[in-house]
């Protein structure tokens, strides 16, 4: 038997908030990588629904969004038989450890989080304590599973850095309790920009719906959005400075077809932007088609979904309870 089989695989933890749909940017930038990571690591994934109520949610839509997020991830290739994939609110250790960690996290540290500053500016009427302590809950998510690595986007780097500080602080006081996790810097996913303002990241919170493609968008909608994509006046399909729109479209084309930028440039030599935009749209439609079909199957099979998230939650509880018990004992809580 080869050595790699007996070698202990590293643990990866990551979570994503449920928010209706995910964009082509989320898929090509992050999710596709998660799917690949399942081969080489012990991955544990979650839908971060506790984090989601730091902004107000409509109960009916929220419930639907949580289930949709779950089904969508399975459709993209997350395999809960291989990688436990659970719903955060189903595993009570998360909220419990988050409280404990809150008492080992400083007001000053939380005040410096740029996401907190941004979000409190965006929702000045609802700057709740949960929004402020959001990073301690995220730290709990990660530390409960003794994760070695956490694949995070640039916007979550600061939270991961804080997680490391909290873990080191706790270990410093009580002795080794938590694994200090590192950011997973693997193969970088494609950075997908807005189709309407290609200097900005593609985001579903963009008011202009033509700026982003949802992975559940219907083919005709996807085609329309690509045909309207902002380009430049040079009319040459190649990567270049000041050609943000075309650079972005080439990046997307490359991510969905696996072709290099040079191959794409050669293929579209002498052709106009109209042809190119149509071709990118078609390539994206073909990439998303099987995902959309699987999503429809999963969402029609609620029992199957429930079976998967329940089994994963049981596994996650067993694993995380070990860490929580250790923490409680070290702090001095009386055993039950
Ligand atoms: N805060 C992350 C986000 O909004 C989601 C998240 C919650 C997360 N817990 C996590 C990511 C733990 C990585 C690890 O994107």
Q: Which CATH number covers residue 246? A: 1.10.240.10
Q: What is the pLDDT of residue 273?
A: 96
Active site residue 201: yes
182 lies in the same domain as 278: no
Q: What is the pLDDT of residue 60?
A: 97
269 lies in the same domain as 249: yes
Q: What is the pLDDT of residue 205?
A: 85
Q: How many domains does the chain have?
A: 2
> How far is it, in rounded angstroms, from Cα 212 to Cα 209?
6
Cβ–Cβ < 8 Å for 134, 54: yes
289 lies in the same domain as 314: no
Q: Which CATH number covers residue 145? A: 3.40.50.620
> Would 2 be classed as within a structural domain?
no
Q: What is the pTM of this model?
A: 0.91
**Residue with token string 């429930």:** 306
> Would 197 be classed as within a structural domain?
no
**Residue with token string 């729109």:** 245
Q: Where are the beta strands (DSSP E) in the chain?
A: 11-16, 42-47, 85-87, 149-150, 182-183
67 lies in the same domain as 155: yes
> How far is it, in rounded angstroms, from Cα 38 to Cα 30?
13
114 lies in the same domain as 174: yes
Cβ–Cβ < 8 Å for 21, 218: no
> Would 6 be classed as within a structural domain?
no
> How far is it, in rounded angstroms, from Cα 11 to Cα 40?
10
> Would 198 be classed as within a structural domain?
no
Q: What is the pLDDT of residue 2?
A: 46
Q: Which atom of ligand 1 is nearest to the CA of 48?
A: 7
> Would 139 be classed as within a structural domain?
yes
19 lies in the same domain as 136: yes
282 lies in the same domain as 309: no
Distances (CA, A) of 5 to 35, 47, 73, 83, 92: 20, 29, 27, 17, 33
> Would 289 be classed as within a structural domain?
yes
Q: What is the pLDDT of residue 336?
A: 87
Question: How large is the angle between the packed helices 302-331 and 129-144, nearest 10 degrees?
Answer: 90
Other beta carbons within 10 angstroms of residue 62's beta carbon come to 17
The alpha carbon of 216 and the centre of ligand 1 are apart by a number of angstroms equal to 22
Residue 92: closest CA among 149, 140, 54: 140
> Would 196 be classed as within a structural domain?
no
> Would 4 be classed as within a structural domain?
no
Q: Which atom of ligand 1 is nearest to the CA of 153?
A: 15
pLDDT mean by block of 10 residues, the chain; 336 residues: 64 92 90 92 97 95 96 97 97 98 98 95 93 98 98 89 98 98 80 95 92 97 98 93 95 94 95 96 98 98 98 98 98 95
97 lies in the same domain as 39: yes
DSSP character at residue 176 = S
The alpha carbon of 249 and the centre of ligand 1 are apart by a number of angstroms equal to 28
Q: What is the pLDDT of residue 86?
A: 98
**Range(s) of the domain holding residue 76:** 11-189+302-331
């Amino acid at each position: 038997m080869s050595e790699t089989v007996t070698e202990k695989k590293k643990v990866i933890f990551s979570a994503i908030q449920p928010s209706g749909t995910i964009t082509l940017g989320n898929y090509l930038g992050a999710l596709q990588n998660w799917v690949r990571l399942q081969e080489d690591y012990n991955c544990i994934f979650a839908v971060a629904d506790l984090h989601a109520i730091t902004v107000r949610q409509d109960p009916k839509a929220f419930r639907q969004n949580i289930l949709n997020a779950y089904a969508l991830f399975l459709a993209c290739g997350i395999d809960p038989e291989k990688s436990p994939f659970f719903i955060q609110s189903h595993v009570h250790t998360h909220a419990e450890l988050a409280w404990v960690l809150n008492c080992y996290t400083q007001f000053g540290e939380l005040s410096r989080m740029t996401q907190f500053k941004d979000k409190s500016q965006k929702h000045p009427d609802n700057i709740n304590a949960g929004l402020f302590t959001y990073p301690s809950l995220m730290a709990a998510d990660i530390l409960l599973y003794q994760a070695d690595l956490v694949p995070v986007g640039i916007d979550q780097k600061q939270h991961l850095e804080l997680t490391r500080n909290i873990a080191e602080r706790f270990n410093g006081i009580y002795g080794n309790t938590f694994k200090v996790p590192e950011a997973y810097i693997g193969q970088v996913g494609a950075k997908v920009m807005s189709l309407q303002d290609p200097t900005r990241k593609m985001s579903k919170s963009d008011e202009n719906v033509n700026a982003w493609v949802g992975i559940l968008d219907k083919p005709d909608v996807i085609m329309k959005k690509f045909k309207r994509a902002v380009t430049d006046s040079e009319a040459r399909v190649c990567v270049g400075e000041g050609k943000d729109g075309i650079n972005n479209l080439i990046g997307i084309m490359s991510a969905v077809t696996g072709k290099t930028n040079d191959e794409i440039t050669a293929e579209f030599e002498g052709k106009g932007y109209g042809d190119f935009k149509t071709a990118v749209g078609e390539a994206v439609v073909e990439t998303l088609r099987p995902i959309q079909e699987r999503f429809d199957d999963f969402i029609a099979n609620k029992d199957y979904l429930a079976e998967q998230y329940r089994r994963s939650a049981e596994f996650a509880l067993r694993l995380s309870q070990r860490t929580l018990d250790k923490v409680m004992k070290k702090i001095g809580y009386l055993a039950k």
